[in-house]
């Protein structure tokens, strides 16, 4: 196990690398937004990387995930193609959705990321359907759905939990509780901050991770939960984390007044990178390893940027209003 | 269509046969819906499939219309061909998010990569006392959205063929059967073999004096009315629309060019409806051929009264068709 000696140093490095890759990609998107290159509402996962990477570390390549509007981290952690992601966000035909889906519908079937969808709660049900299909076909796969704390206010979340429980489906529900649905605090919307305790009576296994920025804890919980899911015991993980940027967009939003900088600073102190760095120090993993990771990631991002920017624009004939056929 | 050697079967039984043949043909086809394993559920239409294929492929479900649609989408994204069954189309309004925001959009949003071969089968009820919520005929609402197909069979042959077309189509398809008895229990010669009904409208009666486009059960009213006209030397062309989306408008335009008169009869409301759409398309494409203003027979723009004294007058009638045609010709 990760919290015991000897730790798996290669896994530790991989976890750091994957989180760093998501962070650096989203920083590149931030540059693009600030320069006006992106004409779309991007939803950054900066601050929440440990959940995506930690859960994905417990999965097998054949397992499938679905995600939401805040999908960049899940896409990358599952192994989604970076070039196709960057091209999609720029609305190019070389994007994963050929420019038709955009930042909120990222998917990469070859990596097992089936679809993302922004309408809150909707994609939860897709994972249940995937799991139903796996079970009917007798395939050794599980389905994982990522969603936020706001999604549990949608009826479809409870419909999904109920059905998965009744039919004993191989599905893992991962609720990223970042306390806010857009700008509304969870206690304005729900009777307590603890979602897992309200899910428990539905007959699924639950676990609440109070600090899901501690990636080793996420890996530990996800690994044990995934084992149960593979035995057709649906599980629910509540991963408490914190979004550091705006709901959509790339800036900070402390000035809006719906949350305090002090609250944010408490979570910044639990930074997933700092927490893992501490483990690196204990394990005598040298800083040069991180320097090397930065180099590899920078190279990959530069290549993806070049690919996306140089990809041709979708054509509109003669600058006229496109015909219906042009939209297809 | 060649007749097989057997007795006529009902519209309902033809649809049952479609479900059985689809499940025999492809093990990826499965059925879900409330009460599908019960004689009282879904009018017994699904019970034979349950008896033959059992609970693993015919799943009795909780009352979670929106969730069920999402589960079916998820399974469809994994290559299955789910058929989701709602006892009445009123319940489909609870699943609008999944049907229209999701199922209808995922193929497009994925750049054409994903297919959602999902069939949603439901029923339009019509009976005194059903009241304002249980007698909806919501086809026009569903047909508004690009990315989803909508069909309403008006014969036993089409009840089978359209359902099979839907199940083996790679896009989401809504099939609305009409439960009113003159149609639901109507017997016809239905081929026993597997066949699919194309996504086209159907000229049921050829004529040259007026084009009557019917939707769903109103076909029976138009056919009944035509007997009266023929005696007077008036020959209407009766076209069963069959599919609201994709709409097969060209044969209707061709017919208008011949008859110069359009009457649309629909089981839905008047405003923002398939009847509006047909009149608009004819106005755009065959205006110069019209000898008189197009006419529509639809529901009035009010909810359906429950009272048995009012309800019979609420729906399109044979009498109304006769009256309209008399005024037009």
Per residue in A194-203, pLDDT (tens digit) is 999 999 999 9
- Is B208 an interface residue toward A (CB < 8 Å)? no
Q: Could you tell me if A67 lies within 8 Å of chain B, comparing CB atoms? A: no
CB contact under 8 A, A98 and B112: yes
CATH label of the domain that carries residue A248: 3.40.50.970
Q: Percent of chain A scored above 70 by pLDDT?
A: 95
* Domains, in order of start, for chain B: 9-188 (3.40.50.970), 202-328 (3.40.50.920)
Contact at CB, A156 and B66, closer than 8 angstroms: yes
Q: Does B26 touch chain A (CB under 8 A)?
A: no
Nearest CA in chain A to B98: A122
Mean pLDDT of B92-97: 97
pLDDT of B4: 59
How does residue B40 score in pLDDT terms, banded at 50, 70 and 90? confident
Tell me which chain A residue has its CA closest to the CA of residue B97. Answer: A122
Between CA A7 and CA A19 the distance in angstroms is: 19
φ and ψ of B299, to 5 deg: -75, 150
**Is the Cβ pair A119, B64 closer than 8 Å?**
no
Residue A261 has pLDDT above 70, yes or no: yes
Asked whether the beta carbons of residue A107 and residue B108 sit closer than 8 angstroms, the reply is: no
CB A242 within 8 A of CB A179: yes
Q: State the number of CA atoms in the 13 A half-sphere of A157 facing the CB.
A: 21
What's the CA gap between B213 and B194, in Å, rounded? Answer: 28
A119 in a structural domain: yes
Task: Flag whether pLDDT at A4 surpasses 60.
Answer: no
Decide if pLDDT at B29 tops 60. Answer: yes
CA-based nearest residue in chain B for residue A163: B62
Evaluate whether residue A4 is within a structural domain.
no
Summary mean pLDDT of chain A:
94
* Rounded-to-integer distance, Cα A110 and Cα B248, Å: 37
* Residue B3 pLDDT > 80: no
**Tokens for A127?**
């994972």
Residues of B with active-site annotation: 65, 134
Look up the domain containing A104 and give its range.
9-327
What's the pLDDT tens digit per position in A166-183? 999 999 999 999 999 999
Query: In whole angstroms, what is the distance from residue A16 CA to residue A294 CA?
Result: 11
CB contact under 8 A, B71 and A101: no
CA distance B205 to B240: 9
Residues near B62 by Cβ (< 8 Å), separated by ≥ 6? A159, A162, A163, A166, B34, B68
Decide if pLDDT at A214 tops 90: yes
Asked whether the predicted pLDDT for residue B252 surpasses 90, the reply is yes
Answer for the pair B199, B258: CB distance below 8 angstroms, yes or no: no
Burial grade of A168 (CB within 10 A; 0-12, 13-18, 19 or more): middle
For the sheet with B243-245, list strands across it.
B58-60, B29-33, B81-85, B119-124, B173-178, B149-151, B243-245
Binned at pLDDT 50, 70 and 90, residue A328 comes out as low
pLDDT > 90: percent of chain B: 87
- Map residue B233 onto helix, strand or coil: coil
Residue A1 lies in a domain: no
Question: CA of B72 to nearest chain A CA: how many angstroms apart?
Answer: 6
Query: Phi and psi of A281, rounded to 5°?
Result: -60, -45
Question: How many distinct structural domains can be found in chain A?
Answer: 1
B6 confidence band (pLDDT: 50, 70, 90): confident
Place A316 in a pLDDT band, splitting at 50, 70 and 90: confident
> Looking at the predicted structure, is the pLDDT value of residue A120 above 60?
yes
Tell me what pLDDT residue B227 has: 87
Q: Among A8-17, B78-87, B180-189, whose mean pLDDT is lowest?
A: B180-189
Furthest CA-CA distance within chain B: 58
Residues 6+ apart with CB under 8 A from B6: B192
Q: Could you give the percent of chain A with pLDDT greater than 90? A: 92
Give the whole-angstrom CA distance, residue A190 versus residue B278.
48
Interface check B101 vs A, CB under 8 A: yes
State the average pLDDT over residues A46-50. 96
pTM above 0.80, yes or no: yes
Question: Measured between alpha carbons, how far is B67 from A153 in angstroms, rounded to an integer?
Answer: 14
Contact between B150 and B143 under an 8 Å Cβ cutoff? The reply is yes
CA distances from B279 to A37, B135, B249, B274 (A): 45, 25, 11, 9
C-alpha–C-alpha distance, residues B18 and B161, integer Å:
7
Q: How far is CA A94 from the centre of its chain?
A: 22
Could you report the per-residue pLDDT of B133-156, keeping only the tens digit for each? Answer: 888 899 999 999 999 999 999 999
What's the average model confidence in pLDDT over B279-288?
Answer: 97
**pLDDT at position B1 over 80:** no
pLDDT score recorded for residue A110: 95
Least confident of A128-137, B36-45, B156-165: B36-45
pLDDT on residue B294: 98
Name the residue among A99, A109, A163 with its Cβ closest to that of B113. A109
* pLDDT > 60? residue A41: yes
d(CA A61, CA A139): 13
Which positions in chain A touch B30 (Cβ < 8 Å)? 136
Range A214-242 average pLDDT: 97
Least confident of A176-190, B2-16, B169-183: B2-16
Tell me what the mean pLDDT of segment B74-86 comes to: 98
Per-residue confidence (pLDDT) for residue A1, from 0 to 100? 46
Interface contact flag, A125 B69, Cβ < 8 Å? yes
What radius of gyration do chain A's Cα atoms show?
Answer: 20
- Model confidence band, residue A325 (pLDDT cutoffs 50, 70, 90): low
Tell whether A304 is covered by a domain: yes
Q: In whole numbers, what is the pLDDT of chain B averaged over residues?
A: 95
User: What's the CA gap between A174 and A165, in Å, rounded?
Assistant: 15
In a domain, A189, yes or no: yes
**How far is A93 from A312, CA to CA, in rounded Å?**
7
ipTM for the whole predicted complex goes beyond 0.90:
yes
CB B87 within 8 A of CB B35: yes
Tens digit of pLDDT for each residue in B170-193? 999 999 999 998 899 899 999 999
Alpha-carbon span A288 to A281, nearest angstrom:
12
Which whole number is the average pLDDT over B75-93?
97
Instruction: Please tell me if residue B116 touches chain A, with a CB cutoff of 8 Å.
Output: no
Strands (E), B70-225: 81-85, 119-124, 149-151, 173-178, 187-188, 202-205, 210-214
CB B289 within 8 A of CB B321: no
């Amino acid at each position: 196990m990760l919290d015991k000696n000897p730790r798996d140093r290669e896994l530790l490095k991989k976890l750091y690398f994957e989180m760093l890759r998501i962070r650096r990609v989203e920083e590149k998107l931030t540059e693009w937004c600030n320069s006006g290159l992106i004409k779309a509402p991007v939803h950054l996962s900066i601050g929440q990387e440990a959940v995506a990477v930690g859960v994905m570390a417990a999965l097998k390549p054949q397992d499938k995930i679905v995600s939401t509007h805040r999908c960049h981290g899940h896409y990358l952690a599952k192994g989604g193609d970076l070039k196709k992601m960057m091209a999609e966000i720029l609305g190019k035909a070389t994007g994963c959705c050929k420019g038709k889906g955009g930042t909120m519908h990222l998917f990469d079937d070859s990596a097992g990321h089936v679809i993302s969808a922004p309408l809150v709660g909707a994609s939860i049900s897709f994972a249940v359907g995937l799991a139903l299909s796996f079970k009917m076909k007798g395939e050794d796969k599980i389905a994982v759905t990522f969603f936020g704390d706001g999604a549990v206010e949608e009826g479809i979340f409870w419909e999904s939990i109920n059905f998965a429980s009744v039919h004993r489906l191989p599905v893992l529900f991962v609720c990223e509780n970042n306390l806010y649905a857009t700008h509304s605090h969870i206690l304005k919307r729900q009777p307590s901050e603890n979602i897992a305790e309200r899910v428990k009576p539905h007959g699924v296994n639950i676990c609440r991770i109070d600090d899901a920025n501690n990636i080793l804890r996420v890996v530990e919980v996800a690994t044990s939960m995934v084992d149960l899911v593979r035995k057709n015991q649906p599980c629910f993980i509540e991963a408490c984390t914190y979004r550091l940027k705006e709901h959509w967009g790339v800036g900070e939003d402390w000035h809006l007044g719906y949350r305090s900088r002090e609250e944010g600073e408490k979570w910044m102190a639990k930074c997933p990178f700092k927490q893992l760095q501490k483990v690196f120090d204990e394990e005598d993993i040298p800083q040069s390893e991180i320097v090397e990771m930065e180099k590899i990631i920078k190279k990959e991002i530069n290549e993806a940027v070049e690919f996306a920017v140089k990809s041709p624009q979708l054509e509109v004939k003669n600058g006229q209003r496109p015909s219906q056929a042009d939209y297809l | 269509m060649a007749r097989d050697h057997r007795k006529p079967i009902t519209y309902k039984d033809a649809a049952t046969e479609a479900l059985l043949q689809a499940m025999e043909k492809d093990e990826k086809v499965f059925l879900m819906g409330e009460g599908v394993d019960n004689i009282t559920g879904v009018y017994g239409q699904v019970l034979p499939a349950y008896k033959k294929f059992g609970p693993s492929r015919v799943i009795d479900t909780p009352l979670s219309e929106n969730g069920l649609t999402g589960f079916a989408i998820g399974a469809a994204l994994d290559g299955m061909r789910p058929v989701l069954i709602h006892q009445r189309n009123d319940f489909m309004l609870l699943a609008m998010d999944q049907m229209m925001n999701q199922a209808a959009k995922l193929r497009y949003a994925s750049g054409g990569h994903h297919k959602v071969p999902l069939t949603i089968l439901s029923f339009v009820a019509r009976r005194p006392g059903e009241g304002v919520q249980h007698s909806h005929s919501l086809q026009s609402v569903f047909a508004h959205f690009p990315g989803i197909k909508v069909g309403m069979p008006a014969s036993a042959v089409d009840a089978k063929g359209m359902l099979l077309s839907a199940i083996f189509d790679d896009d989401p398809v809504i099939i609305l059967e009409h439960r009113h008895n003159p149609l639901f229990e109507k017997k016809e010669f239905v081929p026993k073999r597997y066949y699919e009904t194309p996504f086209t409208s159907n000229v049921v009666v050829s004529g040259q004096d007026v084009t009557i486009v019917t939707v769903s059960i109103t076909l029976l009213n138009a056919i009944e009315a035509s007997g009266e006209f023929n005696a007077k030397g008036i020959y209407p062309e009766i076209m069963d629309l069959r599919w609201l989306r994709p709409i097969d408008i060209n044969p209707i335009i061709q017919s208008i060019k011949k008859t110069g008169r359009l009457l649309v009869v629909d089981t839905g409301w008047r405003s923002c409806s398939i009847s509006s759409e047909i009149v608009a398309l004819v106005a755009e494409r065959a205006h110069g051929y019209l000898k008189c203003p197009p006419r529509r027979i639809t529901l009035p723009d009010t909810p359906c009264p429950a009272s048995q004294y009012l309800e019979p007058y609420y729906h399109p009638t044979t009498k109304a068709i006769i009256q309209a045609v008399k005024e037009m010709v």
